[in-house]
Amino acid sequence: MSRRVTGEGRLVVMLAGEQARRLGHGFLGCEHLLYGLASVDGEAGTVLRARGVTPQRYEEEFVHLVGPHQFPAGGAATDPFDREALASIGIDVDAVRQRVEAAFGPGALTRTDNRPTGRRLRRRRRSRIPSGHLPLTRRAKKCLTHALRHAQVRHSRQLVPEEIALALLTTNRGLVPHILSALGTSATDLRAEILRRYQPAC
């Protein structure tokens, strides 16, 4: 999918991939795409940064919520827990995490006692930063597909960051809404502002 993204939109995907690798995440999700959007020029990046969604603040909140290196290489989830499945049976992952960390310290819910030593430790350290192609999560793929379709409606082969942002900010699932809320804004407000400033010719 990312190979089909051209124009300025490709830079968004490249920056998102760099962040995912740096954090040791073996996938590229909507959370990483929003980081890429906050890092580029244009209307989308300007709106995000003006509302406090700077690359640094966004990444700090992202890492605060999930931590770096919490995902298996090639994993397609955006959280080590299936939030929707747990919520359906009345379990609030965030509330559980807060209670556990209050009692046992940060990261206690995802910490393991399987501490590798010697050669295994060195091998694991080397493999923490994924290389090569990162698989897109289902939501990230859906977001880029939607943005590409909108570009085709405009009879354009160039995908701009604004179209990625508008597609991304349509969903209210995943970690993006939680991160935006922690930064004092919302997907709805950001999308409205980007739409107001970006009027593509259809």
- The residues, any chain, with a CB within 8 Å of residue 7's CB and separated by 6 or more, are 157, 158, 159, 160
User: What pLDDT is attached to residue 24?
Assistant: 87
Per-residue confidence in pLDDT tens, the chain, 202 aa? 544 556 678 899 999 999 999 888 888 999 999 999 999 988 999 999 999 999 999 999 998 887 766 544 333 344 445 555 556 555 666 766 676 667 666 665 555 444 444 554 444 444 444 445 688 899 999 999 888 888 777 666 678 899 999 999 998 888 899 999 999 999 999 999 999 988 754 4
User: What pLDDT is attached to residue 174?
Assistant: 85
Nearest of 98, 22, 113, 115 to residue 64 by alpha carbon: 98
The structure tokens 């809404």 sit at: 177
Buried b / exposed e across 165-178, counting CB within 10 Å, b at 16+? Answer: bbbbbeeeebbbeb
User: What pLDDT is attached to residue 114?
Assistant: 44
User: What pLDDT is attached to residue 30?
Assistant: 93
Q: Do the beta carbons of residue 67 and residue 110 sit within 8 Å?
A: yes
Distance CA 186, CA 202 (A): 27
User: What pLDDT is attached to residue 33?
Assistant: 95
User: What pLDDT is attached to residue 38?
Assistant: 95
The CATH superfamily label for domain 2-197 reads Clp, N-terminal domain (1.10.1780.10)
